[in-house]
Amino acid sequence: MTEQTGRKVTANLSLTIDGRYNGPGGPEDFAAFAPYVTSEVARDHMTRIWQDATTALIGRINAEGFMGYWPPVAADDAADPRDRGYADWLVRTEKVVFSTTLAEAPWERTRVVNAPAVDVVTDLKSSGEGDILVNNSASVIKPLLAADMVDRLYLMIFPEIAGGGRRLFEDGLPATRWTLAHQETGKLGELAMVYDRAR
């Protein structure tokens, strides 16, 4: 068995109150999320997720979107400082992108893997330091939840019922207990919550 460091695996995702991470229109349907993502609470939450993280795990589709959007924000003096902080972290941190189609990474400090998330995280936990953040990629979070490898969940809950779309917590996950480490409510009814796995 591979010896493990003390690295925590954390995961960040936004959900509607009916548990969806996208709307009924498919992976690009974020209509229910749009009013809330730039709120004070959401921006503070975004800062919270990356401060202890030294590695970002991202699915390919999210990586393409993130790396198209965030690098210019890092250089934009007019951007919200919290957005700039996250953008700068994303550009400079180690990134692992899960893909079955990319042959090589088009971004700096990035490697592409075509392997099960559980195997990749087990390998990452065997060396290095700092949190391993699964950044807004349900395709990576789900198998790690199924293997009970997530130590902390950063969740933004938006007060909308999407009525369709993909769910994070599907039937068949192992029963686990979590403790609430932080919560904050925004003016629009959005909730920022941090849950730690009770082991």
Has residue 2 got a pLDDT over 60?
no
Provide the mean pLDDT of the chain. Answer: 94
For 108-138, what is each residue's pLDDT tens digit? Answer: 999 999 999 999 999 999 999 999 999 999 9
Please report the pLDDT score of residue 104 as a whole number: 87
Please report the pLDDT score of residue 103 as a whole number: 84
Domains and CATH numbers, the chain: 9-129+137-197 (3.40.430.10)
Please report the pLDDT score of residue 43 as a whole number: 95
The arithmetic mean of pLDDT across residues 45-57, rounded, is 96
Please report the pLDDT score of residue 159 as a whole number: 97
The arithmetic mean of pLDDT across residues 166-190, rounded, is 96
- DSSP string over the chain: -----SPPEEEEEEEETTSBSS-TT-TT--TTTTTTTTSHHHHHHHHHHHTTEEEEEEEHHHHHHHHHHHHHHHT-TTS-HHHHHHHHHHHHSEEEEE-SS-SS-SSTTEEEE-S-HHHHHHHHTTS--SEEEEES-HHHHHHHHHTT---EEEEEEES---SSS-BSS-TTPPP--EEEEEEEE-TTS-EEEEEEE--
For 130-159, what is each residue's pLDDT tens digit? Answer: 999 999 999 999 999 999 999 999 999 999
Local confidence band at 4 (pLDDT 50, 70, 90 cut-offs):
low
pTM of the predicted structure, to 2 decimals: 0.93
Local confidence band at 1 (pLDDT 50, 70, 90 cut-offs):
very low
Local confidence band at 3 (pLDDT 50, 70, 90 cut-offs):
low
Please report the pLDDT score of residue 6 as a whole number: 87
Least confident of 1-5, 60-64, 118-122, 169-173: 1-5
